[in-house]
Structure 1
Amino acid sequence: MAAEPKVDPMHQFTIEPLFGSDNWSIAGHNIAFTNSALWMAMSVALLILFVSGGLRRQLVPGRWQMAVETMTGFVDSMLATSVGPNGKKYVPYVFSLFSFILFANYLGLVPLGLVGLHPYTFTSHFSATGVLSIMAFSIVLVVGFAKHGLHFFSLFVPHGTPVPMIPLIFVVELISFLVRPFSLGLRLFVAMMAGHVLLEVLSSFVITGGNGGPLLFTIASVPSFILMVGICALELLVAGIQAYVFALLTCVYINDAENLH
């Protein structure tokens, strides 16, 4: 009797080379074009397409232009609140970061499985979210040292700290600062991966219950399917919130570099 196939909730995160690029390499390093790279490219293309609609500068903006202007205004307001007047110059970067993550999260939720394609959420990999975090952290370091020089280290000694406590507080604050890129990328990675794993597990309950007869279908499949619908709605909310949180924390970290708060 053939074994019943099982649903592997982690298979959806497998990185696979596409278009026969398995053996592509430069200087001994594999440069295969993977499914992760494909969905990154799709997110970038979608971002470029979205922004292009806001470049028309019509006197009476249409819906597309209004959407772009609303999002840029949202990012500009976020930077103004977090950084102040100096935050204006970071709008292009934070807007691109926020939109890129937002589109990536939502592309991974598109039900393309209905037509035989499997969407891929590359923000469910720490290798992707970690790079985005390191980029933001690098900007903070470059801006901090370029603007304040060695005085940037005063960030690790809060104002009013008693002199005997300075060495200890400095070490604690420095460690907290160095952990930022890790925690920033980990938060997005965990949130996106957890939701997708849960949906895959529930889908296995639906399939198993459907193959197990009317009783098991009623007990397992129906409640699991109802729960899946609710979690899908929650995932749509989480996808937007995580993009916002990533951008907001980036603004907060930039504020530290600009204002040493």
Structure 2
Amino acid sequence: MTQPAGVDGDRELTVDQLAAVVGVTVRNVRAYAARGLLPPPRLVGRTGFYGREHVARLRLVREMLAEGYSLNMIERTLTAAPEAAGSATLALHRALLAPWLPPEPEETTAAELAARAGVPEDDRLVDGLVALGLVERLDDGRLRVMDPALLTAGLQVVELGVPPAALIEAQLTVAEHVREIAQTYVRMFVETGWQTLREGGATPEQLERAQTTVARLQPAAAQALLAVFRREMAAAVEVAVDEELRKLGEG
């Protein structure tokens, strides 16, 4: 089998040919495959053969690495992508998903976590964070913090004197409401911008427009949500303060 001239040709490639076409080492190809970044090849005996979808994924991995993405972030970006997706589909998938991914996960221990919160070490605290999806338990007993920024915000609330258990319970309720808000924005986009994309046949210009829309949707949606939250928080605080002051007056 000779190496095809076109990267996206229909010919199947051996692992050596795949590495040569994309411009990476065979060792890297095998390492990426071991992490699940590439779908399994078609096996003929002990030889694996790779197609266009493997070339597309490998090129995307190389590009994201060159832009400074970690392998963990790339893995999270590609997890939900169709295995047989071509270059254009993967590029769109990345553009639509990447802006919404949380920061890089961090690893810690239950003791370190308790020390940061200023509370005694307690398995129930970790269990609550696991229930939130904020923390994962690792096989070696350590913890992986899935969203360090959210954890930092929570610890700041704990420093104000709010018990961790109360914060976790409140956050479970908040997460449920935010999930509904996110679904509302996604439905809005699918029923408007995405519908236009489907009807237009997904031309390169429309794909680029969709990517731009999603990139602008994140800050716009966050700003709108924050504005509503501030308004509702002010109203709720006013009612609560008036009620508590009334109780003090009656006492």
| Same fold? TM cut 0.5 | no
Larger radius of gyration: 2
TM-score with structure 2 setting the length: 0.30
Greater share of residues in strand: 2
TM-score by length of 1: 0.29
Report the structure, 1 or 2, having the larger helix content: 1
Structure showing greater relative contact order (alpha-carbon pairs closer than 8 Å, 6 or more residues apart): 1
